[in-house]
Chain A
Amino acid sequence: MSRNLNSFVLADSKKCIGCRVCEVACAVAHLDTEIKTVGNMNFSLNPRLYLVKTPEITMPVQCRHCEDAPCLKSCPVSAIKEQSNRIVIDEAGCIGCKSCIMACPFGAIELIVSRQERVGDEEDRLRDEPEVVASKCDLCGGAPACVKACPREALQYVDMVKERTQRRIEAANKMSGFHNEFMVREG
């Protein structure tokens, strides 16, 4: 394979306490304008990662940026693209058909009310913009807000090149002893 594998954010369910700061940070990072206080918000928070809480586990789930992305393949209008090692949704091109939601094995895509809905009169909106668009993690362009905001360091930005290299070193360290022992026994 000639290109690097896509990165993604992964949560550690052992560290996650379910506080939802990651969701708030994600939603804030994707606002059109800078908003610092709750009182300045006149719409709900629309995060792109979703806290999952069951009796057994607590962790947020978000887009895995699949190499052979089912969402991308399922999109009938080619609004989902691979760009600089990320799977991204072109919200302007999205028709809200939900095919990607059905295709995603992680449940990582949601339909949100289009941001443009808040501006322009109704006629403009009907002509130019969809009411709802698909939304999912875009890795914040490479520095995910969720990872930075987590008070428990439960989220990790997984760089596949580094991860793979690190795992190979660990494996080599373990296997070197094992291999020698194995060879001796064989002999």
Chain B
Amino acid sequence: MAKKLQENIKIDAELCTGCGRCSEVCPVDAIEGEEGKPQSVNVAKCVMCGQCVQICSAYDSPFEQYATSRSQRLKERNMPIVKEPLFAAYYHGDFFKVKKRLADKKQFSMVQCAPAVRVSLAEEFGMPLGSLVPGKMVAALKRLGFTRVYDTNFAADLTIMEEGSELVKRITEGGSLPMFTSCCPAWVKFVENEYPELIDHLSSCKSPQQMAGSMFKTYGASVDGVDAREVYSVAIMPCTCKKFEANRPEMKSSGYQDVDAVLTTRELAYLIKEAAIDFNALPEESFDKPLGMYSGAGTIFGVTGGVMEAAIRTAYELITKEPIENVNVTSVRGEQGVRKVTLDTGALKLKTVVVSGLKNVIPILEDIQRGKADFHFMEVMTCPAGCISGGGQPKMLLPVDGRKAYENRKSSTYQHDEEQRYRKSHENPEIQDIYQKFLGEPLGHKSHKLLHTHYKPSR
């Protein structure tokens, strides 16, 4: 099982022309092969970010003849029957698995949607790039038959509570510093693969996907009076590596696999199309409560700098006990590369680093190994603009539209943040409630069991 999951990203040798653009974008040099010849993925190195899937333009031309039929190719990829062109780089889907379980009307299913899905899903239905559609997305998921439509954004708020407290604890009581975010599974896998000696620097927090999963099968199940074993937990993600994360053996803190299946944004679009739902005509509907309520801080997790900004909004108030002057921490926003920002909290100058694009983190990690780290907290996202540019997001036909899509998805994300009644994770009433009724306190016994994990060297 584990081996199969590692082979999530593949290159179809019959379609690959060996142009090498995939190996240019691969942050871990996992793509191998001679120039001009079909390339292959080195499974041991691959972090499954899917950037190769996004850039590949070698498609099944109607003017060429292939030994493999189109239906065979669709089957290999676990894709439904679609007429769209197929490209050489692809990922294994989970469409059929989810479709089958949804067809069972007795199934008690809970679904979560990552923040980056609501700013891209509509693109698969012809709406302008970056259209913001949380309400239509909820309506579509309800029509697909999910019993509870919850949200990863809620768990993002929960992540901030735990991660912010963990950072403050490491600074005040001691612990490995700088602390690294652990929301991006490709980044976590990269540390495990290439820098195992730095694993202690990773926050022990699970990613929002996994926090949501364990909350679904514990708190969520109790709210509805169902047994955890009856809950089918699905995540809709912009990311191809989240499929791998959900299947990690340590992700069973509810007593069951916390997230049973992960669909990409594109796979959700297939489900909606196959069910003949007219997406564009759907009304706006609301996420279910309690695990579907979120703050603006939760929603900005989808863009690079978002986790940092959300953490700053809460950490500042945890440290200073005063409200933050400007909730828009624009200095951490931006794209590709490295941004260093110092936050003055009076008592402490909190030094932070935001990295987008995995290649950019290597010099920093080398510095840390040489003992040259001079900061407290680092956010790393593997994909160039954060999750909005993930491998499972709608694939642009033209590279020029890719850049436009990132720009629009980003501005929709910040717009959504500004629209929220609560902008800080700790102000989300359902977050306050879950601590009061169920979790106790951040970093407490229950939190530790359900929301934290530890990572292991993979070599």
Binding site for B on A (CB under 8 A): 17-21, 23-25, 28, 35-47, 50-51, 53, 58, 110, 112, 149, 151
Contact with A along B383-412 (1 / 0, CB 8 A): 000000000001111111100010000000
Q: Are B126 and A40 in contact (CB under 8 A)?
A: yes
Distance between B212 CB and nearest chain A CB, rounded to angstroms: 25
Known interface pairs A39-B266, A39-B394. Does A45 touch B61 (Cβ–Cβ under 8 Å)? yes
One of A19, A43, A110 near B58 (C-beta < 8 A): A19
Residues of A within 8 A of B18 (CB): 18
Known interface pairs A37-B123, A41-B83. Does A24 touch B17 (Cβ–Cβ under 8 Å)? no
Residues of B within 8 A of A40 (CB): 84, 123-126
Closest partner residue, chain A, to B401 (CB atom): A36
Q: Are B84 and A20 in contact (CB under 8 A)?
A: no
Answer yes or no: B269 CB below 8 A from chain A CBs.
yes
Cα–Cα, bound, A43→B18 (Å):
25
Chain B interface, number of residues (Cβ within 8 angstroms): 35
Known interface pairs A53-B17, A149-B400. Does A37 touch B57 (Cβ–Cβ under 8 Å)? no
Q: Are A37 and B62 in contact (CB under 8 A)?
A: no
Q: Are A149 and B84 in contact (CB under 8 A)?
A: no
Cα–Cα, bound, A149→B399 (Å):
8
Q: Are B62 and A46 in contact (CB under 8 A)?
A: yes
Distance between B450 CB and nearest chain A CB, rounded to angstroms: 35
The 5 closest A-B pairs by CB, nearest first: A19-B19, A39-B124, A18-B17, A37-B394, A17-B19
Distance between A44 CB and nearest chain B CB, rounded to angstroms: 5
Residues of A within 8 A of B19 (CB): 17-20
Cα–Cα, bound, A37→B61 (Å):
17
Distance between B138 CB and nearest chain A CB, rounded to angstroms: 20
Residues of B within 8 A of A35 (CB): 126, 397
Q: List 23 A-B contacts (CB under 8 A).
A: A17-B19, A19-B58, A20-B57, A20-B59, A23-B59, A24-B57, A25-B397, A28-B398, A36-B397, A36-B405, A40-B123, A40-B126, A44-B60, A44-B85, A45-B61, A45-B85, A46-B62, A51-B61, A58-B17, A112-B62, A149-B398, A149-B399, A149-B400
Closest partner residue, chain B, to A36 (CB atom): B401
Q: Are B397 and A43 in contact (CB under 8 A)?
A: no
Closest partner residue, chain B, to A17 (CB atom): B19
Residues of B within 8 A of A20 (CB): 17, 19, 57-59, 61
9 more contacts with CB within 8 A, not counting A17-B19, A37-B397, A151-B399, are A20-B19, A37-B124, A37-B401, A39-B395, A40-B84, A44-B60, A47-B61, A110-B63, A151-B21
Contact with A along B53-82 (1 / 0, CB 8 A): 000011111110000000000000000001
Q: Are A42 and B84 in contact (CB under 8 A)?
A: yes
